[in-house]
């Protein structure tokens, strides 16, 4: 049965999509800052990594001039970032920070959002009772606000969506669907037809994900219905990532494998574009299976590599977040503590078992014409990396990042919008692989490799007069 844990990122989208409709009051002193905060929101919807880099300085400014509205919006955005990245350990601390600051300002909406994020973090770690408790607190908090402010309406919808997420995690999808229908039927509180259209665009996407658990025809129907309602005024690719994922899943179950791969790749392309990570593991698993079913074993190997890298990152994050949960629960009864300890032991075993599997897994593949060794890394380490490439071992990129731990971050400092696939391509250039060799490894045409090199030049501002391999030689000095 498909777990909706990797599909339940919709709960916070409702408010973010309607930021343009809701807005917030401005004073002359705060006009400049609030304009920047709104611009950051737009960037967040298209490139969350780039937007996140701006949040820190904006937060410092909002605190300095005591702009509570901007501060709370930015703290909320940090929570959304960690949730989108599936970093549950960071999400826990960010959610508590949002709650604390919101309570100081007496902002009921932000207090409730802090509880929603906490509920999602607990649900990911299977603490469902804690998750439901925080959602109850969030809803009761919102009901205290009698202002009829639109953001309170959308926040209540967020709570209903989050309830649906928890129920799906608990294996009760029909209860989850009822919660989304409750949100769908609440549209009568809205008066603007365009706003209603966008509201249902989101809800139909959410309910499509839930129907995947027991009714693929309904899932397919609502995903397409959501796509039909997409408005050019709303620039939020996360909803479309979910819709494409749902269609990929439904066509896979219908054994229409070509259509399934088509929609899954559309979903992955959008995920790479904006830096979304939450749903990629589930998609990679299906893509690997689909490529095996259609007889494309080499393509399956490529996505197995990507899948294992994602699994390691998710297990590490879950491992860290469980430590935080246990620390918070130390004052509770011994039975609860024992359950937590058992859970963290299971996660630890899974994490280390996956690493061992990565290291010992081997696949036969021959590669030729490797260019001379890079001069700024130990020959032994370089040869190990080449050996992993020669064997097409999925552990290659994991080992590469161990050898060059600052490589990715150094590239992102030059261009924060680089995608994971572009960073992987840069890794091949750093190891001085030829165009022919890269084409063999990635299963693409040499001409496509040349085009990718050209794009990398543009993305990293490498002059055309500079040999790209020489550029990475000099870059090596900074990243070892």
Query: What pLDDT, on the 0 to 100 scale, is given for residue 25?
Result: 46
| Both structure tokens of 355 | 């690493």
Question: Which CATH number does 4-310 carry?
Answer: 1.25.40.10
pLDDT above 80 (res 371): no
Q: Lowest-confidence range among 48-52, 68-72, 196-200, 229-233?
A: 229-233
Q: 467 versus 324: which is more confidently predicted?
A: 467
| Chain centroid to CA 135 | 22
Q: Give the whole-angstrom CA distance, residue 326 versus residue 340.
A: 6
Residue-wise pLDDT for 45-77, tens only, equals 888 888 999 999 999 999 999 899 999 999 999
Query: What pLDDT, on the 0 to 100 scale, is given for residue 10?
Result: 43
Q: How far is CA 220 from CA 196, 204, 205, 426, in A?
A: 22, 11, 10, 38
Q: Lowest-confidence range among 95-104, 329-338, 349-358?
A: 329-338
Q: 238 versus 378: which is more confidently predicted?
A: 238
Parse the chain into domains and list their residue ranges.
4-310, 363-479
pLDDT above 70 (res 158): yes
Going by pLDDT thresholds of 50, 70 and 90, the confidence category of residue 199 is confident
For the segment 129-135, the average pLDDT, to the nearest whole number, is: 90
Q: What is the DSSP string of 425-442?
A: HHHHHHTT--HHHHHHHH
What is the pTM for the complete model shown? Answer: 0.54
Closest to 11 measured CA to CA, from 185, 244, 209: 209
Q: How far is CA 459 from CA 197, 412, 454, in A?
A: 37, 10, 9
Q: 320 versus 398: which is more confidently predicted?
A: 398
Going by pLDDT thresholds of 50, 70 and 90, the confidence category of residue 2 is very low
Q: How far is CA 154 from CA 17, 45, 101, 112, 207, in A?
A: 10, 18, 21, 12, 17
Residue-wise pLDDT for 387-405, tens only, equals 777 776 667 777 787 788 7
Going by pLDDT thresholds of 50, 70 and 90, the confidence category of residue 98 is very high
* Residue whose tokens read 């219905």: 225
Query: What pLDDT, on the 0 to 100 scale, is given for residue 301?
Result: 87
Q: Give the whole-angstrom CA distance, residue 242 versus residue 276.
A: 11
Q: Give the whole-angstrom CA distance, residue 1 versus residue 171.
A: 9
Q: 349 versus 471: which is more confidently predicted?
A: 471
Closest to 457 measured CA to CA, from 413, 425, 431: 425
Q: 465 versus 459: which is more confidently predicted?
A: 459
For the segment 289-298, the average pLDDT, to the nearest whole number, is: 89
Residue-wise pLDDT for 402-454, tens only, equals 788 788 888 888 888 888 788 888 888 888 888 888 888 777 788 888 889 98
Residue-wise pLDDT for 216-228, tens only, equals 999 999 999 999 9
């Amino acid at each position: 049965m498909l777990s909706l844990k990797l599909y339940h990122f919709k709960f916070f989208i409702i408010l973010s999509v309607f930021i343009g409709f809701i807005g917030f009051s401005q004073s002359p002193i705060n006009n400049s800052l609030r304009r920047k905060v709104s611009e950051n929101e737009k960037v967040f919807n298209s490139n969350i990594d780039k937007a996140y880099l701006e949040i820190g300085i904006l937060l410092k400014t909002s605190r300095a001039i005591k702009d509570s509205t901007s501060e709370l919006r930015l703290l909320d955005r940090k929570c959304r970032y960690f949730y989108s990245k599936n970093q549950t350990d960071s999400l826990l601390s960010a959610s508590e920070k949002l709650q604390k600051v919101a309570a100081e300002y007496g902002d009921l909406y932000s207090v409730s959002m802090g509880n929603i994020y906490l509920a999602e973090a607990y649900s990911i770690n299977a603490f469902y009772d804690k998750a439901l408790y925080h959602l109850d607190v969030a809803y009761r908090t919102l009901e205290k606000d009698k202002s009829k402010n639109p953001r309170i309406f959308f926040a209540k919808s967020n709570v209903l969506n989050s309830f649906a997420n928890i129920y799906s995690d608990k294996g009760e999808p029909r209860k989850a669907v009822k919660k989304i229908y409750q949100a769908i039927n609440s549209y009568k509180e809205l008066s603007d037809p365009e706003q209603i259209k966008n509201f249902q665009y989101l809800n139909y996407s959410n309910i499509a994900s839930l129907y995947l658990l027991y009714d693929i025809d309904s899932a397919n129907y609502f995903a397409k219905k959501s796509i039909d309602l997409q408005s050019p005024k709303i620039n939020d690719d996360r909803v479309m990532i979910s819709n494409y994922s749902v269609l990929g899943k439904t066509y896979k179950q219908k054994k229409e494998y070509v259509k399934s791969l088509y929609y899954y790749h559309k979903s992955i392309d959008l995920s790479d574009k904006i830096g979304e990570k939450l749903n990629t593991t589930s998609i990679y698993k299906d893509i690997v299976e689909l490529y095996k079913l259609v007889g494309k074993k080499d393509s399956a190997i490529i996505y197995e590599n990507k899948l294992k890298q994602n699994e390691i990152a998710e297990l590490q994050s879950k491992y860290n977040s469980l430590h935080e949960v246990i620390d918070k629960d130390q004052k509770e009864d011994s039975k609860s503590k024992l359950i937590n300890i058992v859970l963290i032991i299971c996660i630890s075993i899974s994490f280390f078992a996956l690493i061992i599997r990565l290291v010992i897994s081997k696949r036969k593949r021959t590669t030729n014409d490797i260019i001379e060794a890079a001069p700024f890394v130990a020959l032994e380490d370089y040869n190990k990396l080449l050996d992993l490439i020669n064997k097409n071992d999925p552990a290659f990129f994991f080992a590469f990042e161990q050898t060059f731990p600052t490589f990715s971050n150094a590239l992102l400092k030059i261009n924060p919008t680089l995608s994971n696939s572009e960073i992987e391509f840069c890794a091949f250039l750093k190891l001085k692989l030829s165009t022919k060799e890269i084409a063999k490894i990635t299963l693409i045409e040499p001409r496509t490799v040349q085009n990718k090199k050209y794009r990398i030049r543009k993305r990293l501002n490498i002059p055309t007069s500079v040999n790209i391999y020489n550029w990475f030689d000099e870059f090596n000095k900074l990243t070892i």
